[in-house]
Structure 1
Amino acid sequence: MARTRAQAQQQELVDQRVEALKDETVESTRRRVENEVRAELSESVRAELVEKFTAEAKNEAEDAAQRIKREAEAEADKLIKDAEIKSREVVLAAQKEGEAELKSRRAEQQKIEERLSNRESNLDARAERLDEREEAVKTREQQVAESEAQFSSRELELERQRGEVELVLEKVAGYSAEQARAELVARMVNQAELEANRKIKVIEEQAEEEADKRAQKIISVAVQRYAGDFVAEKCVSVVSLPSDDMKGRIIGREGRNIRALEAASGVDIIIDDTPEAVIVSGFDPVRREIARRSLDKLIADGRIHPTRIEEVVAKTDQEVAQSIKEAGEQAAFELGIHGLHPELIKMVGRLKYRTSYGQNMWSHSIEVGFLCGLMASELGVNVKMARRAGLLHDIGKALTHEQEGSHAIIGADLCRKYGEHEIVRNAVAAHHNDEPQNSVIAHLVIASDALSGARPGARREILETYVKRLEDLERISMSFKGVEKTYAIQAGREIRVMVEHGSIDDAGAFALSRDIARKIEDELTYPGQIKVTVIRETRAIDYAR
């Protein structure tokens, strides 16, 4: 059907082309002949010739058309033959492809049939096995039913015998079953508590031993690699005088000199019976330093009057500000810290004139920075950031006399204001637990701060505060049941607790030490750590008569 449609289309195209060629040939021949004879022949001859040549041209055109038609038919036959050949090739290829696909499908179908036959045989074998098992299960169920009947009868007999035995035992022991059960449960609970305390003790001892070894290693390495000096200062400064006559010149006529000095420097000048000395008193260490230096210059110069005093104090103020800046730059240089904001550098320098429990905060901050960096290097943490956090951890103390609030929060606000990293800001804010720690560096700052402040001789403590802390330690220890005596020793670094051996056993002593330590942590504030030692001794006493 496709072949017939193609032949019809080709024949139609050939006929259209023959007709077009025929018309085109006749017209072109006619025009050519007319053009050739038009100029030479007369009208009559021209008409005869036109008629003659028109007939000839028509014959020639018909011949040409016939020739073209034959050529077109030959070409059409050729095209038809080519199309038939191509269609045969396509049919052969399709037949081959269909045979191959049919062959593969037959092979796949054969495999499926083989699998199905194998599965059917397996199912038959499995069905046979299931039938056998079903028979075996039925047999076993019968045996189990018989055994259950026997066991039921035996259980009834045993229950009856157990009731008789319980009655006999209750008569012999004088205890009911409920009382015996309660006593047994109580013994088991006590035994479980003892076992739990032993295991807790072993686990905590192992953990503490491992933690102590690691902490001691890190701290010992840090302490061995750094040693700092401690500066003890007071809230007053003493200015030496060349002679007692200088006191009168400092006071001036009607006290105008000393009033001018106090007004310019903002401190109190105390002149008493102390020979050849004047006391400068003030809560602000920077003002006190300005006043002390100004007095030294005035005494050395000898010209002491209100105008001169104001000039010297103003000049000394500039010198102290420059020294504060240099002190901050020196601290940053010693720790290898770069990029600190100029205001933070000034705040670090101001710490040189700030003390806490007699410890100089500038030296303390440098020491904490070094210790943080050393421990960070042992732990594989960012050393530069650890040193930065250690240096800035107490920077808020430079402004505590001007702003209210915790120095940790004030310092954290300064760090945020002057673009410090969030880890540094958190370490500053969290080193007294004013906010949670979010990095290892924050914990290193806490450890370094406690280590620097807890060194022997690093800080001085007011006697009343020291005695009160010792009394609180002994009071907390005595508040627990079974405690006989308590002693605070090692300058409050250790509390020894004597317990009654009859009231508390070894496991209870371990639990008591843990409870006392937790209560001390909750109620007291102290530098470093406090060791709680519970002592239980067994005394064997007899008399010779």
Structure 2
Amino acid sequence: MFVHNSILAQTNLTPGLIGVMIGLAIGAAVALLLARLLGTQTLGQARKQADDLLEKARSDAENLKKKLELDARDEMASKRDAFEKEVEGMRTEIKEQERRVTKREDNLDRKLDTLTTKEKYLDDLDAKIKDREAKVDEREGELDDLIEQNKLLLEEARKEQKQTLLRLSNLSEDDARKEALKIVEHESQHEAAQIIQRNMEKADEESKDNALKITLQAIQRYASEHTADSTVSAIAIPSDDMKGRVIGREGRNIRAFEKATGVDVIVDDTPGVVVVSCFDPVRRAIAAEALHKLLEDGRIHPTRIEEIVEQIRKEIGQRIIKFGRDACIEANIQGLHPKISEMVGRLHYRMSYGQNILRHSIETAYLCQVIANELGLDGDLARRAGFLHDIGKAMDHDIEGGHPAIGMEFCKKHGEKEAVLNAIGGHHNDIPSTTPYTPIVMAADAISGARPGARRETLEKYVRRLEQLEGIARNIKGVREAYAIQAGREVRVVVDPESVDDANCMYVARDIAKQVSEEMTFPGEIKVTVLREMRTIEYAR
């Protein structure tokens, strides 16, 4: 109180103000106390929450730890299994390699044993060979000595024989040498003839076998029709009255027809037939077809004749182009000039001994291809050469010269290859062969023309060919008689046995064959058979 009063005295404060201040102090103390109580309560709650969080974190950490340990254990187990599998695979592979190595070692041991045995055998064989070489050397020395001795003895015997012959024959040394050379020459000729005969027989046998094989294969692979078309030159007339209509008043119809077609129409006493004659097969075909159409139409007069002939000429011209195109397609010929194709179509109307030349050309083309393929040559080029080899026959009625030269010149103008040109110009030996395709075309041409039923020839030409064949054979020295047989495909020659021996028969046959090839024209081949017969007759009485 005393203090309180002293303070009041010192501060000059009123009692009311002091009470307020005291109240404020007490309120502040109470507020401070309340604040402390609240802070203590909040701190407890915070500590409790922290403890809960800490406990939860410890629990989560423990769970995570356990999970990680489990995962680590699982991963370690899987890796351990994979490692064990890998180790097991490596162990298996090592065992397989060990087995292979063991097998190879066994094989090497067996081979080593075999090599050891062979080496021993070779050593023994080498020793035997050395022994034989030593014996051979010894024998060679003995043979050399014997040869030298024989040479000396032979030389002495020759000198004695020479002196004896000279003494007996009273000939000089030069004369004796000439006589000996004559004997040796005669014997050499005889031996040479025998060698030639053996070689020619062997070569002929081998060549015939090969040629027969190739020819048979070619014919088998291309089997064409054996019937041949015939040239139409006789036109059937319904009645004899129609002949008068064909001739016309004072012959005006027949003259107009001949002028329009370029053919000769022969109307004779033969009943029901009018003959159309012309060297050009195309014009003859136009005339025959035009005459058929006129006879069917019945209206025969110069104007109608000109109309029909012109119409038929256009139709046959179109047919020729079609025939050529179809033939090129059938023979598989590509890149042919249109002019050449047209000329090929004209061959449809051309015949040779009754054989259609267009069909013959297609057949020859296929045979050429087969033969060329068998010989390892260009089959396409050979087929082209065979297809065009007779193209000159489509123009030989309009151009002077042989059909090989005409065809070669025509194809040369239109860009054909040299091999094809040589085959066209040389398939009848008119020019030398420069390529192997020319002989192939010659062979195929002969096969196509010589097969049975392909061609026919007149009796007059047939008899003349047989007479020429026999005449050539009889003109050879030493031939006594000759006979053509098998329709002229073989000639049998009988020689004089006193002037021709067995060895020289080969020369006679070769000379006859060579001369026949040079002087005659024939399809296929002609066989020359030389016969030599020696008869010795004696009578017992």
Among 302, 307, 318, which residue is 2:303 paired with?
A: 307
Among 452, 456, 459, which residue is 2:448 paired with?
A: 452
Match status 1:231 vs 2:228: yes
Cα distance change on mapping 1:287 and 1:481 into 2, 3 Å: closer
Counterparts of 1:55-454 in structure 2 under 5 Å?
Answer: 180-229=176-225, 230-234=227-231, 237-454=233-450
Measured against aligned partners, the alpha-carbon deviations of 1:224-259 in whole angstroms (never above 9, x if no partner) come to 12222342434x612222222222222222222222
Measured against aligned partners, the alpha-carbon deviations of 1:285-338 in whole angstroms (never above 9, x if no partner) come to 111111111111112122222111111111111111111111111111111112
Residue aligned with 1:491, SS: coil
Residue aligned with 2:238, SS: coil
Question: 2:381, 2:293 → 1: CA distance?
Answer: 42
Among 502, 522, 526, which residue is 2:522 paired with?
A: 526
C-alpha deviation, 1:533, in angstroms: 1.1
Give TM-score, length-normalised by structure 2. Answer: 0.67
Measured against aligned partners, the alpha-carbon deviations of 1:24-71 in whole angstroms (never above 9, x if no partner) come to xxxxxxxxxxxxxxxxxxxxxxxxxxxxxxxxxxxxxxxxxxxxxxxx
Cα distance change on mapping 1:419 and 1:247 into 2, 3 Å: same
C-alpha deviation, 1:518, in angstroms: 2.1
Cα distance change on mapping 1:440 and 1:172 into 2, 3 Å: closer
Cα distance change on mapping 1:244 and 1:535 into 2, 3 Å: same
Residue aligned with 2:504, SS: helix
Cα distance change on mapping 1:197 and 1:242 into 2, 3 Å: same
Question: 1:491, 1:171 → 2: CA distance?
Answer: 62
Question: 1:514, 1:533 → 2: CA distance?
Answer: 10
Q: 1:544: which partner in 2?
A: 540
Question: 2:168, 2:283 → 1: CA distance?
Answer: 92
The letter for the 2-side match of 1:231 is A
The letter for the 2-side match of 1:326 is K
Question: 2:316, 2:159 → 1: CA distance?
Answer: 98
CA contact (8 A) 2:348 2:357 kept: yes
Cα distance change on mapping 1:428 and 1:167 into 2, 3 Å: closer
Q: 1:65: which partner in 2?
A: none
C-alpha deviation, 1:162, in angstroms: 9.3
Question: 1:480, 1:297 → 2: CA distance?
Answer: 58
Cα distance change on mapping 1:246 and 1:184 into 2, 3 Å: same
Q: 1:45: which partner in 2?
A: none
Q: 2:29: which partner in 1?
A: none
C-alpha deviation, 1:181, in angstroms: 4.0
Measured against aligned partners, the alpha-carbon deviations of 1:165-186 in whole angstroms (never above 9, x if no partner) come to 8666655566665555444332
Question: 1:163, 1:370 → 2: CA distance?
Answer: 71
Q: 2:35: which partner in 1?
A: none
Question: 1:166, 1:289 → 2: CA distance?
Answer: 86
Question: 2:206, 2:461 → 1: CA distance?
Answer: 34
Question: 2:304, 2:239 → 1: CA distance?
Answer: 21
Q: Whose radius of gyration is greater, 1 or 2?
A: 2
Among 509, 515, 518, which residue is 1:513 paired with?
A: 509
Cα distance change on mapping 1:162 and 1:317 into 2, 3 Å: closer
Cα distance change on mapping 1:481 and 1:251 into 2, 3 Å: closer
Question: 1:287, 1:193 → 2: CA distance?
Answer: 61
Cα distance change on mapping 1:257 and 1:163 into 2, 3 Å: closer
The letter for the 2-side match of 1:243 is S
Q: 1:474: which partner in 2?
A: 470
Match status 1:483 vs 2:479: yes
Question: 2:474, 2:451 → 1: CA distance?
Answer: 29
Residue aligned with 1:239, SS: strand
Q: Which runs of 5+ in 2 are unaligned?
A: 1-151
Q: 2:94: which partner in 1?
A: none
Measured against aligned partners, the alpha-carbon deviations of 1:387-417 in whole angstroms (never above 9, x if no partner) come to 1111111111111111112211211122121
Question: 2:167, 2:339 → 1: CA distance?
Answer: 90
Question: 2:435, 2:169 → 1: CA distance?
Answer: 64
Q: 2:50: which partner in 1?
A: none
The letter for the 1-side match of 2:201 is E
CA RMSD of aligned residues (A): 2.5
Measured against aligned partners, the alpha-carbon deviations of 1:511-531 in whole angstroms (never above 9, x if no partner) come to 221222222233333332222
C-alpha deviation, 1:506, in angstroms: 0.9
Q: 1:499: which partner in 2?
A: 495
Measured against aligned partners, the alpha-carbon deviations of 1:316-370 in whole angstroms (never above 9, x if no partner) come to 1111111111111111111111221111111001111112233221111111111
Cα distance change on mapping 1:540 and 1:217 into 2, 3 Å: same
Question: 2:539, 2:314 → 1: CA distance?
Answer: 84
C-alpha deviation, 1:277, in angstroms: 2.1
Give TM-score, length-normalised by structure 1. Answer: 0.66
Cα distance change on mapping 1:162 and 1:451 into 2, 3 Å: closer
Cα distance change on mapping 1:473 and 1:162 into 2, 3 Å: closer
